[in-house]
Chains A and B, each alone.
Chain A
Amino acid sequence: MNMALNNTDRPNSYIGRSVTRPNALRLLAGKGRYVTDIKLPRMLHAAFLRSPYAHAEIKSIDTTEAAALKGVHLVATGEDLAKLCKPWVGTLDHFRGMKSAPQLPLAVGKVVWAGQAMVAVVAETRAIAEDALGLIQVEMSELPPVVDIDQAREPDSTRIYPELGDNVAFKLTVESGDVKAAFAKADGELEETFFTGRHTAVTMEPRAIIADYNASEEALTVYHATQTPYQFQDLFSRLYGIRESRVRVIAPDIGGSFGMKLHVYNEDMSVVGLSMLCGRPVKYVADRLESFVSDIHARDHRIKTQVAYDASGAILGVKVDDVTAIGAFSTAPRTSVVEGNQVVRLIGAPYRFRDYRADLSVVFQNKVQTSQYRAVGHPIACLVTESLIDRVGQKLGIDPFEMRRRNIVTSDMYPYTSPAGYKFERLSHEACLDGLYKLMDYPRLREEQKALREKGIHRGIGIAMFVEITNPSPAFYGVGGARISSQDGAIVKITPAGEVQCLISVGEHGQGTETIIGQIVAEHLGVDRELVRVITGDTDVTPQGGANWACRGAGIGGETALQAAKKLKQNVLSVAAAILQSAPGELDLINGQIVNRSDRVERIPLSEVARISYYRSDTLPPGTNPQLTAAHHYSPQGYPFAFTNGVQACHVEVDAETGFTKILDLWVVEDCGRIINPMLVEEQIRGGVVQGLGAAFFEECRYNESGQLENGSLADYLVPMACEMPDIKIAHVETPTQDTELGAKGCGEAGTAASSAAAMNAVNDALAPLGASVSQIPMTPQRLLKALGRG
């Protein structure tokens, strides 16, 4: 541990403190500025006609009547926008052999999922645009939909894209050690098949975009509810042939993202073209029904597993066959195979067995695309792994804590490379397990459980360990040819009044990025936090960077800010030295004052250094050119990823008569390295846990045989409500990464990574005395009753 960073008595010591978020005050006053709220002069509104069929040919489109409606400015078909926008393909080179058909803003010739946008209308108001949709005549001819994952792979199955040969997007085998030998020498083996339900992000603010093309400058400004403005600057520029320097993407307040707001969406790409055609700003905000059929979904997997173990409970080997369905395309620019890839690479990650084989098949189907959503792949890998550990423990009569202690990668084994090839710098499984045991008072809970069982009350306790991928280097996407940056940039400057602005490429969506960047800059520069203003989310203003994906804001953005602040401090001290006829090494900057490094005697305020630098440079010694702005870019070096870890426990009560589960308690012990703001880390964890509990008990996009989403509204698709969620107790272990000076790793996905698994283990623990178990999420009352033989 670096004590200098932890010395909370020092002035301007902010790292490690639960400070509040300055930008939250605006949101609390109803003065947020979301894309949904923005109105530009002469702005028009777009609406989209969507396919009612999952798979159909478009025979003809008649837009005459719609175009004639008063207030309608433009009706555009797929062919119209295809003249402006190049097609995109959601493949990457490092996923060898993967394929996906090219996509265009609007459907051309055929539709491949129910809800796919076919025609766009631009009108004075959204209501008029929607009126016009009703006047468009489309003649369609239905094709057999591909819905089921096995049906999709049959030799005589309908091909969604015949030119691709079959419906398989990608296949991968991960193999390590000798899994056959492991099974041969095992004392026992068991097999289980797991199902994880397709679900979706349900950000409270739906997707929203305003494109404003200015033909006289050949410039495009886009207000975009996105996590990754730089990525879209690149995409809009390349696909529409507009110079990159003239594409400005502004991401203002964002009403939730969770990984859903960084993919290429047909409507978003369309709106750019519509603005070019109209010569006016065009706005599109998805309504909630559109969100359900056009936002990415995730986690649609069937995982067949076999595990070999010995009599002591040691896991010897694991075999996995994961089939995941991703919709009709692989989503650009990150692809839809990353989730499956992470599932098969993260299974078993906390444990020490070496013999492993996993086969992954990623298949197309006539549904909306799946892609990266919070904790990509982690919840599935964790669910499978942790359920298998419990099932083996149950067979052998070994307690879940003991099973894990016998199988984890221990602290003497680092650095450690997992069977799937992930390199772990240092994880803290033992400390987290021990911490959890105490935090939840495990022995007491077991006693209480036993006593209640005698009264016919079925409570269960489930534990799930996790490993999370954070701080991704170019190994994640860059190596595959994706124009997705893993570096970030910061510009820190002193204003003439001696205050500070930090412009940084990582963005703010409520997680508290601006707050933690402010804490880091204030501490490392040596000023009061109140003086630091952090500015994010505008490609014309903030430096180039990766922005927000895969848990990187604190770890990579934070290190960038730290180094930029240090650089600026050196610049300040050299000007101060020139003014004071001292040497930079003899001075320090503390609490906005230049002081002697030796005795901390105040010499000159920072504001005075700034005033002289900006207004009276004539009074400085010749040759002094104050540099009160410093820029710094940082890209992860060393380990390809900074893995984090932790463990969760869930306590439930199952009503065996109704199948309803009450979540009683949830505990988390997590290690995200250096903690910059404990309150914000804990709130990330809590929010993440609840999304995982949603997946465990409620959330599922239910499709029928013809590929229609049957519960695509917020009344039908259940998300966790306040009354269903428990209080969540959290404890921390801190193992800073040595790859950075800051030592921070990510924490945004840790909650989601393991809570579904902990919940399933808890439910199965409750069901065990009744001779039942479940292996599918969401664990709905119907499914529990079925497991209990009452369904």
Chain B
Amino acid sequence: MTERVPVSMTVNGEDVQRFVEPRTTLGDFLRVEMELTGTHLGCEMGVCGACLVLLNGKPIHSCLMLAVAAEGETIETVEGLAESKAIADIQQAFHNRNALQCGFCTPGMLVTAHEILKSEHPLTREEIRDELSGNYCRCTGYEAIVDAIEQVFVARAAGREVEASGQFAETAA
């Protein structure tokens, strides 16, 4: 076992200090040390996108970064984004459209969707699909995710919330 070293960073708005092995990835640090298990590890080689978190506001693969490399940085995970309501309309649109099944890829999808939706002009479906290419989903076939993001673009452009489609909503497709 290697010597632990101190690391401090801001995670979901909270200043945290821990001692970690230098080889600990940011993904493992968040999941094991911080017990923020919303961030998932699907491939541990930066391909599948399940582990995406925000580093100083930009999505990064937490499986590819060492925790010690995040010294002094600001990290936001899906839990933080959910609690701060930053992605409330995206979550609602995903729920309405059933843009998730098993939910394992979902935290990474939400982080990417959050980034996509920063675009000043609404993206076309094709552009949304391109932007989602770093996030693998094995359940949905992606269409519902594209629909949900499109729905948020429309709502945001109109300056309104995404409303719950409710229990009597007819086919969303």
Contact = CB atoms under 8 A, between A and B. Distances in A.
A30 B138 contact: no
A605 B129 CA distance: 50
A359 to B, nearest CB: 34
B110 to A, nearest CB: 7
A723 B169 CA distance: 29
Contact of A288 (B44, B128, B164, B171): B44
Contact of A682 (B82, B100, B171): B171
Given A18-B171, A19-B168, A689 B141 contact: yes
A202 interface: yes
Given A255-B104, A678-B171, A204 B137 contact: yes
Q: Is the interface of A mostly helix, strand, loop or mixed?
A: loop
Interface stretch (A435-443, A493-501, A713-721): A713-721
Interface in B95-152: 95-96, 98, 100-107, 110, 125-126, 128-130, 132-133, 135-146
B21, B42, B91, B146: residue with the most chain A Cβ atoms closer than 10 Å: B42
B40 interface: yes
A721 B151 CA distance: 21
Nearest to A685: B141
Contacts of B130: 722-723
Contacts of A36: 37, 40-41
B31 interface: yes
B55 interface: no
Given A17-B168, A18-B171, A25 B95 contact: yes
Contact of A715 (B38, B45, B135, B171): B45
B36 A687 contact: no
B89 to A, nearest CB: 12
B138 A687 contact: yes
A204 B141 contact: no
Contacts of A258: 138
Contacts of A31: 38, 79
A690 B104 contact: no
Given A30-B82, A254-B102, A683-B98, A725 B141 contact: yes
A28 B98 contact: no
A691 interface: yes
B77 interface: yes
B82 A204 contact: no
A720 B145 CA distance: 14
B165 interface: yes
Contact of A204 (B44, B50, B91, B145): B50
Nearest to A692: B141
Given A19-B169, A28-B94, A679-B171, A725 B142 contact: yes
Contacts of A253: 102-103
B173 interface: yes
Nearest to A201: B138
Given A203-B138, A723-B132, A725-B129, A29 B91 contact: yes
A258 B139 CA distance: 9
Nearest to A25: B95
B79 A690 contact: no
B157 interface: no
A78 interface: no
Contacts of A19: 167-169
B92 to A, nearest CB: 9
Contact of B173 (A509, A723, A730): A730
A108 B73 CA distance: 49
Nearest to A126: B28
A687 B136 CA distance: 12
A682 B140 CA distance: 10
Contact of A29 (B38, B101, B125, B165): B38
A127 B23 contact: yes
B1 interface: yes
Best-surrounded residue of B21, B104, B107, B165 (most CB of chain A within 10 A): B104
A20 B42 contact: no
A264 interface: no
A32 B129 contact: no
B49 to A, nearest CB: 10
Contacts of A751: 141
B94 A30 contact: no
Interface string B40-56: 11111101101000000
A18 B82 contact: no
B143 A18 contact: no
B118 to A, nearest CB: 18
A258 B141 CA distance: 14
B contacts with A: majority SS: loop
Interface string A232-264: 000000000000000000000111111000000
A29 B92 CA distance: 11
A255 B40 contact: yes
A148 interface: no
Contacts of B158: none
A27 B141 contact: no
Nearest to B35: A39
Interface in B60-101: 77-79, 82, 91, 94-96, 98, 100-101
A690 B101 contact: no
A28 B106 contact: yes
Given A30-B77, A686-B140, A714-B136, A722 B145 contact: yes
Nearest to B140: A687
A256 B95 contact: no
A723 B107 CA distance: 19
B48 A509 contact: no
Contact of A24 (B37, B98, B125): B98
Given A683-B140, A714-B136, A719-B136, A204 B40 contact: yes
Contact of B146 (A24, A255, A530, A722): A722
A529 interface: yes
Given A204-B137, A256-B138, A678-B171, A24 B1 contact: no
A29 B78 CA distance: 7
Contact of B103 (A24, A287, A720, A730): A24
Contacts of A715: 43, 45, 47
Contacts of B167: 14, 17, 19-20, 529-530
A28 B142 contact: no
B98 A722 contact: no
A296 interface: no
B142 A256 contact: no
A109 interface: no
Contact of A727 (B96, B143, B170, B172): B143
A511 interface: yes
Nearest to A291: B43
B125 A727 contact: yes
A32 B103 contact: yes
Nearest to B137: A204
Interface string A739-757: 0000000000001000000
A21 B103 CA distance: 12
A175 interface: no
A18 B95 CA distance: 12
Q: Which of A14, A204, A723 has the most CB of B within 10 A?
A: A204
Contact of B82 (A28, A511, A689): A28
Contacts of B171: 18, 678-679, 682
Given A28-B106, A690-B141, 19 more contacts: A17-B167, A17-B168, A24-B103, A25-B91, A29-B82, A30-B39, A34-B37, A36-B40, A127-B23, A128-B1, A203-B104, A204-B50, A683-B140, A686-B140, A714-B43, A714-B45, A720-B142, A722-B137, A722-B142
Interface of B: 1, 21, 23-24, 31, 35-45, 47-48, 50, 77-79, 82, 91, 94-96, 98, 100-107, 110, 125-126, 128-130, 132-133, 135-146, 164-173
26 contacts: A14-B167, A18-B171, A28-B95, A28-B100, A29-B78, A30-B36, A30-B39, A31-B79, A37-B31, A127-B23, A202-B138, A204-B40, A205-B102, A206-B42, A509-B101, A510-B101, A510-B139, A679-B98, A683-B141, A714-B45, A715-B43, A720-B142, A721-B136, A722-B132, A722-B142, A723-B133
| 3 nearest A-B pairs in the assembled complex, by CB-CB distance | A30-B38, A27-B103, A510-B101
